[in-house]
Amino acid sequence: MRQDLRKNTICIVEADADAGELLGEVFSRKGYDSVCIASSYLEAICAFEQRRDEIWLILLDDLYVSGKVIDFQGPEIISYLKETACLPVALILMSAAMREDQLDGLQHAGNDIAQMHGYFRKPLRLDTLLEAAEAAMLSIANDRAAIETANSPGGAMTVSMDAIREVKKSNEQSWLALDGVTAVGIGLLSSGQAGIIINVTDDPTAFVKQIPGEVNGVEIEIRKSGEIRAF
């Protein structure tokens, strides 16, 4: 990985304080300059509010301690990121005993802003986790660079982010009500424009009559959701 990418922040959300500190030390020793530790949903949100554009990767524990659910709010954290983040953020899930219904609920929870990059069962394989984190950071670097280029003077962006957010806000609930739609987010489209990305579980062409390709000058792209990779 390019050394400059390791200057971007990783946020570790882990209820076990000792485990969180140990994992943070692992990343620090691998050259990551900025690692923040959160032990609850609220701490994670506060960390993101304080360092919004600096956080590139969130390692999200299911927040189990000694078999007891302390604060399982993974979906809430993901929803928060989808609503508030302006730039893509990678998420990697970690769990000692995540139930099938919980994992199923997260399978299609992400979008091009809150990007799901894997699911790790505990005990963690640190070498594989580090490889996945590196791949996630590189992916985020590429996506952020593309958005920056589109937003720059002379770039590809033809509508403002405010206009895109307004279209999303006005139509999100009606789109999510459609059977098969799993997420609505803002991201970089395959055309190179910034716009709205709608994730669906089925063939995207099946939704073209229900979801327009453009609203008020804002492009809309329908994509089939991917699966969370388990390690």
Q: What is the pLDDT along the chain (231 residues), one digit of tens a residue?
A: 454 777 788 999 888 888 889 999 999 998 888 899 988 878 888 888 888 778 889 898 875 444 444 455 566 777 778 777 777 888 888 877 666 666 666 655 666 677 877 788 888 888 889 988 888 888 788 777 767 766 666 555 567 777 887 898 899 889 988 988 877 777 777 777 778 888 888 899 999 999 999 999 999 999 886 544 444
- What is the phi/psi pair of residue 122, to 5°? -90, 150
Whether the pTM exceeds 0.85: the reply is: no
Q: What does the chain come to in residues?
A: 231
Decide if 3-147 and 161-224 have a common fold: no
Which among 31, 51, 43, 41 has a CA at the least distance from the CA of 78?
41
Contact status, residue 7 vs residue 57, Cβ threshold 8 Å = no
Compute the half-sphere exposure of residue 113: CA atoms within 13 Å on the CB side of its CA: 24
Q: What pLDDT is recorded for position 12?
A: 93
DSSP 57-106: EEEEE--EETTEES---HHHHHHHHHHH-SS-EEEEEEESS--HHHHHHH
Residue 105 CA: distances (Å) to CA of 56, 148, 230: 23, 32, 14
Domain covering 161-224 in this structure, CATH number: 3.30.300
pLDDT at 220 (0 to 100): 94
Which backbone phi and psi does 8 adopt, to 5 degrees? -85, 155
E strands of 128-189, at which residues?
181-188
Under a CB-based contact definition with an 8 Å cutoff, are residues 229 and 118 in contact? yes
* Overall CATH class of domain 3-147: alpha beta
How far the first Cα of the chain sits from its last, in Å, is 21
- DSSP, collapsed to helix, strand or coil, labels residue 171 as helix
Per-residue model confidence (pLDDT) at position 3: 46
8 A C-beta contact, residue 157 and residue 151 = yes
Cis ω for the linkage preceding 123 (within 30 of 0)? yes
pLDDT at 68: 45
Hey, what amino acid is at 205? Answer: T
At residue 212, the pLDDT reads: 95
Q: How far is CA 141 from each of CA 54, 66, 96, 166, 192, rounded to the nearest angstrom? A: 12, 36, 29, 26, 16
Tokens 């993901």, residue? 78
What local confidence, expressed as pLDDT, does residue 186 receive?
72
Tell me the domain boundaries of the chain: 3-147, 161-224
Q: What pLDDT shows up at residue 10?
A: 93
Residues 57 and 140: beta-carbon distance below 8 Å: yes
